[in-house]
Amino acid sequence: MDMRNFKPVALFLMVFLFTASLLYPQGKVDELDLMPVPAKTTLMQGKYRLDTAFSISVLGNPNKRIYGAATGMLRHLSGRTGFFFHQGFVTDTNKSDTAQFVIDCKRPGKLGLHEEESYTLLVTPKKVELNAETDLGAIHGLMTFIQLLKVDERGYYFPALKIVDYPRFPWRGLMIDVSRHFMPVDVIKRNLNAMAFLKMNVLHLHLSDDQGFRVESKIFPELTKLGSDGEYFTQDQIKDIIAYADARGIRVIPEFDVPGHSTSWFVSHPELASAPGPYKIERNWGVFNPVFNPTIDATYEFLDKFFGEMAKLFPDEYFHIGGDENNGKDWSANKSIQAFMKEHNIATTADLQTYFNKRILKILTKHHKRMIGWDEILQPGMPNNIVIQSWRGQEALFAAAREGYMGILSNGYYIDLMQPASYHYLNDPIPPDSVLPDSVKKNILGGEATQWAELVTPENVDSRIWPRTAAIAERFWSPDSVRNVDDMYRRLSIINYELEDYGLTQIKNYGMMLRRLTDDHDITALKNFVNVVEPVKFYHRHSQGVHYTSYSPYTRVVDAARPESDIDRHFGKYVDEFLKGGKEFKESVVFWLKLWRDNYPELEKTIKVSPILKEIEPMSANLKNISEAGLEAVNLISENKAADKGWTDQKLQLIEAAKKPYGQVELEMVPAIEKLIKAVKIE
């Protein structure tokens, strides 16, 4: 640490810890930091003390994946504690019921929808017992056990307790788009690690889109030769990913988007498109016209061969066809397609897509797969053995469920929109006040967080997915009564740190990106600034005066900034408590306002040696201005003094200026400072 910055950092830690203890008071000494929250937990007296004699044995008849998972847990505990455990690996020869940790699985778990995933974990001062019907449940229990590790003056221990746990929903997924920006194998694997840690069980890979085709086909090798820029998964890599996911109890579902979002297919196969070529890989973002021609047999012959090849590569019973955002323009402009529609009494392009989907469904059924797709695949006449992934929202999901269709919710879990964890956390596939009958509820399988990749690269994708997806994972697993947002955030900060043990880069890459932005100068001032800005929300980044393409730089402040600022969130709470009369929170409010005010001249020095930062200079000045206004407001409120209306008007003008984005980032503490100014009495 730069000693010049030690004093303010140390002061911050003291202030933060004090005020956090007031905002988030702890309960018992052994208060649990688990995420997701288990279904039922009973705390008991005592602690299980960890030492080097700790050993694990496995009883019953499990799948072999439990041995790798148990060994991984052993390595994790060793790494956390520094203990040289006598046991190196957990194998099928470790069957002693006298081991300190006994895992008992009744049968091998089969990856698939509605497989048994429950477990019971009993920790006593003498022993740990994990019982599960399948090894899938046992793996979940291992992840819970890891999160229970605590430390006191005597060393490492686990609190004595009994947990009976099971998931609320059977489908708890994460979709990663590897088409817009390719995400290599190491990115996928580290996110699988995090998914297992949070008890998620479906990885959905979006493998084709206008910007790239990302899986090797040995039948049609030109798909990746011409449509991937050389960035794609070989079939051996796909097999490796699937095996890696299987070892963690996670299913892998492929998505090949048809009939729209399909430009990359046509670079090598323009004869399948609805408009004449030639085609080239799309470098821009948006919804584009290219679409498969649904009226020619060649389309179905091609997809039959390709889907048949991929059906053998991906063992899961579900196969995602996308099906979204076909604007129908190329269909409407093609005279032969229009003639086909007239001849077959197909009235609209939506009806034509239904015709296409039904033929695709026959192909998938032939290859022993079940179809899943976005909302648009649900059209009159579609059989109800398909699964609807809803981006449109709960009403669309509920309407489909009422008609007998199974569905999963993604609306409200679009993590690329940069919304706070609290928003995703309170979004629910089946809200607690739902009046849906049980016969309809059973059709709602759960949900998926969706990480679209227009604006992310392997360098910052983890920071967009985690830790917020941990809150979503809890929504999918825990009872619907678990809804305390403040406690969620308390545990989320702990989980965020623990995810680093599994290779996630959302914390460590932050500093790296800031160092690059300063050209390896002191990052303190820049960090003080970036800590309290967030990327603009939703898809507004595309309308902020910058035209993004697939090859644009994703290395600016907006790319380093986190989707949600913990400091801004805490500051907002400090302000609220101060305005309620909590004088003990004044010190925290003043601390941050002074830090932001004084950061401006220091950041100016950094900007002079790093021109890439010039775009945020006006916002740095705005932050200084509103911080000064906030300090004046705190003093007036503390001294019970009034200000004239001119003062208030002037300060509110500063607030309005500070609301303007620069460099596609926004200051998120502005509403809290605005509250301070509006709380000042006017003469």
Report CA-CA distances (Å) from 38 to 145, 199, 424, 508. Answer: 11, 11, 19, 29
Cα Rg, the chain, nearest whole Å = 27
Strand partners, 49: 157
Contacts of 391 (CB under 8 A, 6+ apart): 324, 374, 375, 410, 411, 414, 450
DSSP state of 231: -
Helix, strand, coil fractions of the chain, as percent rounded to 5: 45, 15, 35
DSSP state of 404: T
Positions marked catalytic: 325
Contacts of 490 (CB under 8 A, 6+ apart): 24, 33
Are the C-beta atoms of residues 421 and 485 closer than 8 Å to each other?
Answer: no
End-to-end CA distance of the chain: 48
Decide: helix, strand or coil at residue 526.
helix
DSSP state of 656: H
The beta-strand segments (E) located in 39-170 are 40-49, 56-60, 101-107, 119-123, 128-134, 150-152, 155-165
Structure tokens at 152: 């006191």
Q: Where are the alpha helices (DSSP H) in 271-322?
A: 297-313
Q: d(Cα 122, Cα 42) in Å, to the nearest integer?
A: 10
Q: d(Cα 630, Cα 677) in Å, to the nearest integer?
A: 7
Cα 333 to chain centroid, rounded: 39
